[in-house]
Amino acid sequence: MQHLISRRAQDAAEEASQTPIWDVLSDAWCASTNPNGFVNVGVAENSLMHNELLTFLNNKLELPAQYLTYNDGNSGSNRLRASMAGFLNRQLKPFTPLNADHLVVTNGVSPAIEHVSWAFTDPGEGILLGRPYYGTFIPDMMTRPRATVVPVSFEECDPLSLEGVAKYETALLNFQEETGKKVRSLMLCHPHNPLGRCYSREVLIELMRFCQKYQIHLISDEIYALSVWENTVDEYPPPVKFESALSIDLNGIIDPRLVHVLWGVSKDFGANGLRMGVIISQVNEDLHSALRGASLYTTPSGLADHLMATLFDDSTFMDAYIQESQRRLSQSYAFTVDFLREHGITYAPGANAAFFVWVDLGKRYRELHPSVSDNDSVGDKVMDLLLKHKVFLASGALFGSEKDGWFRIVFTQSKEYLVLALERIVAALQDEIV
Ligand SMILES: Cc1ncc(COP(=O)(O)O)c(C=O)c1O
């Protein structure tokens, strides 16, 4: 058949056809109108603070005329960037305070990931990414920027540990030797999606030293930076407190032009639909010059620009909001973990950030179905059963999991919704006919 779209677009279409997410989104559960629809605990949405945020935003929605224009340019209004810099100075405690010129505001972190991938790699060059990873990093970095993601395997070693740093070096050397192409950057997710933990300062510094050695960029995606909370249920591993890569004095460690942080409002403000992200790069003038034109394609809407600047300037509201959000995250995690324990489902303990429990559904499925051979992988089968029971989870297979049968549950929904999802998961594991 003759295609009327490019080879690259055909590949993207083929990729997109392999995920059930589009069916899930178009057939969403609703207690009254669609009780047999999909319960979605696969997408990282956070509705725990929706009411509080809506009350604030709806009260402030008075748009000055300049927000109907292109305003100060493509990368966020001057007012927004100044307000955001002030807010992030309080929250991320950068070693060198941020100012508006350090920020390129985009319509989400996804476009920010595309931008930095495009800016740092020529087609085919490598970006290191530790496993397991946030699955959408792959299309973000590969589909349009044409970078090659180089997955980093850790085997039995903790991916967030000091020992893990050596694995990045092995992956870099193998990739360069096998392809003759260079690795240009390392994408870190800190706090980690899907593991819900933070890298220690010591590990961050070691990763920076590694990046300096090979002159590659360290991009720290800190989209969950403010969604850190107290884990009241797990004893091990001990929690590591979140410290931004920006908070480190880079002197003698790494060329500061190689360090970049991404952040956005989708997660910490439960506002995926507002579409706002930011690339923070404090001294890399080349990057800022390159993005000056390219940011035309990722300009945040005037509405989001105005509303978020208003929010960032209200430090009293923000402090109370973040504190309450963190309290609810902690509670919801504990509730989910209690349920999992009661139902004999193993999970990776020790999370203290983000919205996730990383669960071994494959193990529980095997226990419930002793006839399954130890050599057979069960991840795909469990995924099919979950979909049959109309509950959607992110599968480890798409998240580069090194082990079969692991899934990511998002726990930041109302209790009613969460219980329904968890009950459907339990029912799916007991079933065997797909
Ligand atoms: C680690 C990470 N980065 C980026 C994104 C995308 O965020 P945005 O909605 O700002 O595009 C997500 C969303 O799940 C994420 O988990």
Q: Does pLDDT of 2 surpass 90?
A: no
Q: Give yes or no for residue 300 having a pLDDT over 70.
A: yes
Is residue 82 lining ligand 1, measured as CB closer than 6 Å?
no
Considering the domain architecture, whether residues 336 and 308 belong to the same structural domain is answered as no
Whether 196 is in the pocket of ligand 1, judged by its Cβ within 6 Å, is no
Domain's final residue, options 286, 313, 340: 313
Same domain, 72 and 221: yes
Contact 312, 304 (CB under 8 A): no
Which residue from 391, 425, 355, 361 is spatially nearest to 44, judged by alpha carbons?
Answer: 355
Q: List 30's β-bridge partners, or say none.
A: 34
Rounded-to-integer distance, Cα 284 and Cα 69, Å: 29
Do 380 and 388 meet the contact criterion of CB atoms below 8 Å apart? Answer: no
CA 266-263-101 angle, 5° bins: 130
Q: Do 104 and 179 belong to one domain?
A: yes
Q: Which amino acid is at 28?
A: A
221 CB less than 6 Å from ligand 1?
yes
Which CATH number covers residue 403?
3.90.1150.10
270 CA distance to ligand 1 centroid (A)? 11
pTM above 0.95, yes or no: yes
Q: Is the torsion defined by CA of 380, 382, 385, 386 positive or negative?
A: negative
Q: Are residues 274 and 379 in the same domain?
A: no
Phi, psi dihedrals of residue 224, rounded to the nearest 5°:
-105, 20
Q: Considering the domain boundaries, does residue 2 fall inside one? A: no
Residues near 174 by beta carbon (within 8 Å), at least 6 away in sequence: none
Place of tokens 């959607």: 392
Atom of ligand 1 nearest to the CA of 265: 10
Domain boundary among 287, 313, 339: 313
Span between the terminal Cα atoms of the chain, in Å: 33
The pLDDT score that the predictor gives to residue 194 is 98
User: 109 CB less than 6 Å from ligand 1?
Assistant: yes
What does the pLDDT average to over 259-276?
97
The yes-or-no verdict on residue 360 having pLDDT over 80 is yes
Domain shared by 267 and 396, yes or no: no
Summarize the confidence of residues 18-30 as an average pLDDT. 90
44 C-beta closer than 6 A to ligand 1:
yes
Phi-psi region of 344 (alpha: psi -120 to 50; beta: other; left: phi over 0): left
> Quick one: which atom of ligand 1 is closest to the CA of 272?
9
State the pLDDT confidence band at 375, using cuts at 50, 70 and 90. confident
Which two three-digit tokens encode residue 426? 């339990």
Give residue 1's pLDDT.
64
Q: Where in the sequence is the domain holding 362, given as residue range(s)?
A: 7-51+319-430
Same domain, 70 and 32: no
Is residue 1 assigned to a domain?
no
Rounded to a whole number of angstroms, the CA Rg of the chain reads 22
Token couple for 281:
């790069």
Q: Quick one: average pLDDT of 300-314? A: 96
Question: Two tokens at 135?
Answer: 């699955």
Q: Is 80 in the pocket of ligand 1 (CB under 6 A)?
A: no
Assign 3-class secondary structure to 189-244. ECCCCCCCCCCCHHHHHHHHHHHHHHCCEEEEECCCCCCECCCCCCCCCCCCCCCC
Tell me the helices (H) and strands (E) count for the chain, helix number first: 14, 13
Residue 40 falls inside a structural domain:
yes
- By the 8 A CB rule, do 263 and 219 touch? no
- Across 14-18, 32-36, 249-253, 365-369, least confident range: 14-18
Going by C-alpha positions, the residue among 139, 214, 212 that lies closest to residue 170 is 214
Is the minimum distance from the CB of 277 to ligand 1 under 6 angstroms?
yes
Please name the amino acid found at residue 122. Answer: D
Residue 420, in any domain of the structure: yes
**Tokens 């600047």, located at residue:** 309
DSSP summary character for residue 104:
E
Q: Does the pLDDT at position 74 exceed 70?
A: yes
* 368's tokens: 């419930």
Judge if 94 and 146 occupy the same domain.
yes
Same domain as 332, residue 308: no
Query: Hey, CA dihedral for 102, 108, 114, 115, is it positive or negative?
Result: negative
Between the CA of 75 and the centroid of ligand 1 the distance, in Å, is 18
Once rounded to an integer, what is the mean pLDDT over residues 132-152?
A: 97
Are the beta carbons of 411 and 418 closer than 8 angstroms? yes
Please indicate, yes or no, if residue 56 is contained in any of the structural domains: no
Q: Do residues 108 and 30 share a domain?
A: no
Residue 360 CB less than 6 A away from ligand 1? no
Q: What is the CB-side half-sphere exposure of residue 80 using CA atoms within 13 A? A: 29
Residue 110 Cα, ligand 1 centroid: separation in angstroms? 6
Distance of CA 150 to the CA centre of its chain: 18
**Does the residue 59 lie in any domain?**
no
Q: Considering 251, 278, 313, which residue would you say is the last residue of a domain?
A: 313
Residues 226-238 have pLDDT tens digits of 999 999 999 999 9
> What does the alpha-carbon distance between residue 266 and residue 87 come to, in Å, rounded to a whole number?
16
CB 272 near ligand 1, within 6 Å: yes
Residue among 224, 211, 290, 210 at smallest CA distance from 258:
211
Kindly tell me if the per-residue pLDDT of 433 is higher than 80. no
- The per-residue pLDDT for range 169-212, each reduced to its tens digit, is 999 999 999 999 999 999 999 999 999 999 999 999 999 999 99
Residues 182 and 240 in one domain: yes
Q: What is the mean pLDDT of residues 296-314?
A: 96
Ligand 1 midpoint to CA 431 (Å): 33
Q: What separation in Å is there between the alpha carbon of 109 and the centre of ligand 1?
A: 6
Are 152 and 131 contacting, i.e. CB atoms less than 8 angstroms apart? yes
Interior CA angle at 87 toward 82 and 89, to 5°? 95
Q: Are 270 and 50 in contact (CB under 8 A)?
A: yes
> Which residue, judged by its Cα, is nearest atom 14 of ligand 1?
44
pLDDT at residue number 22: 87
- 58 located within any domain: no
Mutate to test the pocket of ligand 1, among 84, 106, 109 (most ligand atoms within 8 A of CB): 109
Per-residue pLDDT averaged across 385-410, rounded? 97
What's the total number of domains in the chain? 2
Question: Higher model confidence: residue 19 or residue 248?
Answer: 248
pLDDT band at 17 (very low <50, low <70, confident <90, very high): confident
Domain of 145, CATH number, reads: 3.40.640.10
CB of 179 sitting under 6 A from ligand 1: no
Task: Give the pair of three-digit tokens for residue 419.
Answer: 């219980």
102 and 222 in a common domain = yes
Does the beta carbon of 189 sit less than 6 angstroms from any atom of ligand 1? yes
Ligand 1: residue of 105, 242, 267, 274 to mutate (most ligand atoms within 8 A of CB) is 267
Residue 10 parent element (H or E)? helix 7-16
The β-bridge relationship of strands 346-347 and 183-189 is unpaired
Count of residues for the chain?
434
User: 325 CA distance to ligand 1 centroid (A)?
Assistant: 18
Is 326's C-beta closer than 6 angstroms to any atom of ligand 1? no
Determine the Cα–Cα distance for residues 47 and 331; give it in Å rounded to an integer: 14
Ligand 1 pocket: which of 21, 106, 107, 110 to mutate (most atoms <8 Å of CB)?
110
What is the percentage of the chain residues whose pLDDT exceeds 90? 93
Are residues 88 and 225 both part of a single domain? yes
